[in-house]
Amino acid sequence: MRAFIFPGQGSQSVGMGKALAEASAAARAVFQEVDDALGQHLFRLMTEGPAEELELTENAQPAIMANAIATLRVLEQEGGIRLADKADYVAGHSLGEYSALCAAGAIDLVTTARLLKHRGLAMQAAVPVGIGAMAVLLGADLAKARAIAEAAADGEVCTVANDNDPSQVVLSGHRGAIERAVALAKDMGAKRAMLLQVSAPFHCPLMQPAAEAMQAALAEAQVAAPLVPLYANVTAAPVADPDTIRALLVEQVTGMVRWRESVAAMTEAGVDRFVEFGGKVLTPMAKRIAPDAVGISVVTMDDIEALAKVI
């Protein structure tokens, strides 16, 4: 069985999508449709930069989605492959959940782009710059990360944002608490702890204003049942009902991304192949969670052509 998976924020880079667009009309059509939907030259920003503008949450989120969907569309249109025939499930990490839903036909491309632009703006506006922070703990499992977060909180928000794999967990919350967590981490059993270069503390209770903004936006958005079930970030379980999908996307803004559990649950359900579109971040995580699984990252035309031969 096979799962198509989609990366989250951090996988953006200047130059993304350029070679794909040069090689494929299908990719160019995706980038143009997203540009038109947003009323901005996002694709030019993706290919030319500047990097600091691309890294803004409001730009990075739709850019990563556009790149992932363009990669999939090339496979589908030029390889003659249908997602419903080749994938048993879809999943995405944080914003990648929107890419997954778009890929599976639950949300159209224009709506997905606009939702992610709105999501990025709402997340950035939820917490003033400098108030929040995030840190990655390496060599720490979920239990250890929760203990570190609890010890560091001291009355402030300090929670697990992403349970990525057995050796990588991300904390989010008030800057002071996150800095205390970094200082405490090694003594409490983590191998290493580092502050992340992010503009807001994602996936923690401080994002509640953004969750409310997304609840309003999603209430107006057309959401259909996906062609194949989505493994949701906040439940690590499959979902196909549109109203439930909406509710989980809202919950996801403040909730923990249960990626380790999601991959483990998909493996338990029979998935033995994970195909990542538009990035090379989730595949190594999947391999650390499910060492016997096959992981394939699809980024370039060569990757697409190689996948089309074996899928």
Signed CA dihedral, 165, 122, 38, 243: sign only: positive
Annotated catalytic residue: which of 99, 203, 262, 297? 203
Tell me which residue of 63, 71, 74 sits closest to 26, measured CA to CA. Answer: 74
In angstroms, the CA 251 to CA 211 distance is: 7
Annotated catalytic residue: which of 94, 199, 262, 297? 94
3-state secondary structure at position 272:
coil
Return the structure tokens found at 238: 């499959």
Q: Note whether 16 and 280 are within 8 A (CB).
A: no
Return the structure tokens found at 124: 């950035």
Which residues are registered as beta bridge partners of 138?
Answer: 168, 192
Catalytic, 94? Answer yes
Which strands form 132-138's sheet, in the order they lie side by side? 158-165, 168-174, 132-138, 192-195
How far are the Cα atoms of 38, 98, 117 from residue 121, in angstroms, in the given order?
13, 16, 6
Strand bridging mode 168-174 / 158-165: antiparallel
Catalytic, 167? Answer no
Produce one character per residue of 136-155: b if its CB has 16 or more CB atoms within 10 Å, e if not: bbebbbbebbbebbebbbee
Catalytic residues: 94, 203
